[in-house]
Amino acid sequence: MLYSFRNRSPEIGNDTYVSEHALVIGDVKIGDNCYIGHGVILRGDYGSIEIGSGTAVEEGVVMHAPPNQTCRVGERVTIGHGAIIHSSSIGDACLIGMGAILSIHSEIGAGATVAEGSVVTMRQMISPGVVVAGSPAKILRQSKDKNSRVDSFRNKIYEDLAKEYIRDGMQRIDPSSKSE
């Protein structure tokens, strides 16, 4: 569901799917060909959110920015199920694993991977092209070339899924009419 707040309304790009079970509030700008999953909360109430084209925000993600600041998410990013995003920026082609926490004013460089369940602490800067894990997140290694092929495949899956949701929608099933 899309909501205006303080006279600011979400802006949604072309061929972007936003689940009717997501909450997108206020000053939120979402690019083209994005997927915003079920149960996502994008709070542009006292801060702003900008999401680049081709980005997938999976189910259960919560995102917002501090007052009068912006949380910027690059293009072709995947943010895994249940992640909490309070960061200042996530660069292009990043993977944020399921359940990861990106704290206030953290920055994730382009092409970086934050492993599942990791915690990027307040003001922590993650270099471009590295893989980090743990709490607090520490560099494990440089990303490998094969990661970019996997990332492209993953982004294509969500881009296709968004198009299918837009084209076909979901059909509600009334459990009381289920035949036995």
Q: Could you tell me the residue ranges of all domains in the chain?
A: 2-168
Where does the pLDDT of residue 164 fall: very low under 50, low under 70, confident under 90, or very high at 90 and above?
confident
Q: 145: pLDDT confidence band, cut at 50, 70 and 90?
A: low
Rounded mean pLDDT of 94-100? Answer: 96
Give a three-class secondary structure readout of the chain: CEECECCECCEECCCCEECCCCEEEEEEEECCCCEECCCCEEEEEEEEEEECCCCEECCCCEEECCCCCEEEECCCCEECCCCEECCCEECCCCEECCCCEECCCCEECCCCEECCCCEECCCCEECCCEEEECCCCEEEEECCHHHHHHHHHHHHHHHHHHHHHHHHCCCCCCHHHCCC
pLDDT score recorded for residue 147: 54
Enter the CATH code of domain 2-168.
Answer: 2.160.10.10
pTM of the model: 0.88
Average pLDDT over residues 41-55: 96
The whole-chain average pLDDT of the chain stands at: 90
Task: Give residue 41's pLDDT band: very low, low, confident or very high (50, 70, 90).
Answer: very high
